[in-house]
């Protein structure tokens, strides 16, 4: 591994997608094991937000133990891998319990979510993921490290959707909390809206999946690696009710991202033409690991499956894609963009 203090900076943008976030865990594990980049900022939504705070928690913990920046970054990579493993093994343990239930129980739950709201089926707002998240991540230590501007600890940006306004809201710094992450992952038909500071929030995927603008305006780094787990394109025409709903969700949860990618491409072209001030605008170098195509064979319905065997299978897929990206594009970071935005419709 190169000297950690001299590692090139790289921002991460982590998309949400239920248990498919285990694919992103695999990608991150490959990047952390390699140790060749310094992560300045991480923007995440839903499962991407959980991955973001678990990763950053590892670096915050390392910063408490090591004063030397190089040692803190090296230790942070190892501790971040541990945090992510604890998170997803916990998800897998919970999922194995649920998926071990009789199939009729799953069918009944699906029918109830169509006709009854979570305010009727889950009035106490019970979500075992919250307890797991709070066991894995020390949010006080993480927000303190981010506010202190410790170079080895990535800034974390979590997006949730304000139910009242319909707009995305990004939580970071002192506002970064378990509530914010659970709001970012709050599916409206399964869980009650999460209340934060007098407002109520649903899944961030409706408004920013993930949100890229905090990485543009609140970090110095111009390179962003997007880990995308919702496919942009879909082969064949969905013709069953389930397939239609799945495709509608994919389109909805990619809309805001595609809009931001188009804006980034537009600014880059104007800068190249000399029509914008480079002192005011930043030309972003975008990179992507496309998990959408790798995960497409499982179907959208598998996003709710989280048994240990499936979680580990997705992890291995993600690791392979992460290693492949490192082999192909490591030298491109800081030099050129590898995601050709005009290829997106």
**Phi/psi of residue 35, each to 5°?**
70, 20
Please report which confidence band the pLDDT of residue 70 belongs to, taking 50, 70 and 90 as the band edges.
Answer: confident
pLDDT at 315: 98
Question: Does residue 140 carry a pLDDT above 70?
Answer: yes
Taking each helix axis from N to C terminus, what angle separates 47-65 and 128-136, rounded to the nearest 10 degrees? 20
Cα distance between residue 25 and residue 84, in whole Å: 7
Structure confidence at residue 117 as a pLDDT band (50, 70, 90): low
Instruction: Say if residue 255's pLDDT is above 60.
Output: yes
Cα separation, 226 vs 210, whole angstroms? 9
Residue 210, preceding bond cis, omega within 30 degrees?
A: yes
What is the distance of C-alpha 114 from the center of its chain? 27
Flag whether pLDDT at 230 surpasses 90.
no
% residues pLDDT > 70 (the chain): 88
Q: What pLDDT score was predicted for residue 107?
A: 46
User: Which pLDDT belongs to residue 104?
Assistant: 42
Size of the chain in residues: 345
CB atoms within 10 A of CB 315: 23
Which tokens sit at 330? 């490591």
Q: What is the mean pLDDT of the chain?
A: 87
Nearest-10 Cα torsion for 212, 215, 216, 222? -110
More confident residue, 296 or 285: 285
> For residue 108, what pLDDT is reported?
45
pLDDT at 4 over 50: no
Q: What is the pLDDT of residue 224?
A: 98
pLDDT digits (tens, 9 = 90+) for 144-193: 888 887 888 999 999 999 999 999 999 999 999 999 999 999 988 888 99
Give which of 251, 186, 209 is closest to 24, Cα–Cα. Answer: 209
82-113 pLDDT, tens digit per residue, is 999 999 999 999 886 554 444 444 444 454 45
Please write the tens of the pLDDT for every residue from 25-49: 999 999 999 999 999 999 999 999 9
């Amino acid at each position: 591994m190169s000297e950690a203090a001299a590692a090139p900076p790289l921002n991460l943008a982590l998309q949400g997608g239920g248990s498919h976030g285990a694919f992103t865990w695999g990608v991150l594990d490959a990047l952390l094991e390699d140790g060749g980049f310094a992560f300045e900022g991480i923007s995440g939504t839903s499962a991407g937000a959980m991955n973001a705070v678990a990763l950053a928690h590892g670096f915050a913990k390392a910063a408490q133990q090591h004063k030397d920046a190089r040692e803190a970054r090296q230790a942070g990579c190892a501790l971040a891998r541990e945090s992510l493993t604890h998170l997803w093994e916990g998800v897998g343990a919970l999922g194995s319990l649920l998926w071990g239930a009789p199939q009729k129980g799953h069918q009944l739950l699906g029918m109830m979510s169509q006709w009854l709201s979570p305010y009727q089926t889950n009035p106490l707002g019970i979500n075992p993921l919250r307890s797991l998240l709070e066991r894995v991540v020390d949010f006080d230590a993480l927000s303190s490290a981010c506010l202190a501007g410790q170079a080895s600890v990535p800034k974390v940006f979590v997006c949730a959707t304000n139910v009242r306004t319909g707009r995305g809201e990004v939580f970071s710094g002192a506002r970064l909390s378990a509530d914010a992450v659970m709001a970012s992952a709050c599916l409206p038909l399964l869980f009650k809206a999460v209340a934060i500071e007098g407002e109520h929030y649903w899944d961030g995927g409706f408004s920013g999946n993930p949100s890229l603008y905090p990485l543009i305006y609140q970090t110095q780094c111009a390179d962003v690696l997007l880990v995308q787990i919702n496919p942009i394109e879909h082969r064949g025409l969905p013709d069953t009710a389930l397939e239609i709903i799945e495709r509608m969700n994919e389109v909805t949860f990619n809309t805001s991202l595609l809009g931001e990618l188009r804006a980034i491409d537009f600014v880059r072209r104007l800068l190249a033409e000399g029509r914008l001030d480079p002192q005011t605008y930043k030309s972003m170098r975008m990179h992507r690991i496309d998990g959408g195509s790798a995960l497409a064979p499982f179907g959208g319905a598998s996003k709710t499956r989280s048994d240990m065997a499936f979680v580990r299978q997705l992890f291995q897929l993600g690791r392979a894609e992460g290693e492949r990206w490192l082999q192909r594009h490591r030298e491109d970071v800081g030099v050129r963009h590898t995601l050709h935005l005009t290829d997106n419709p």
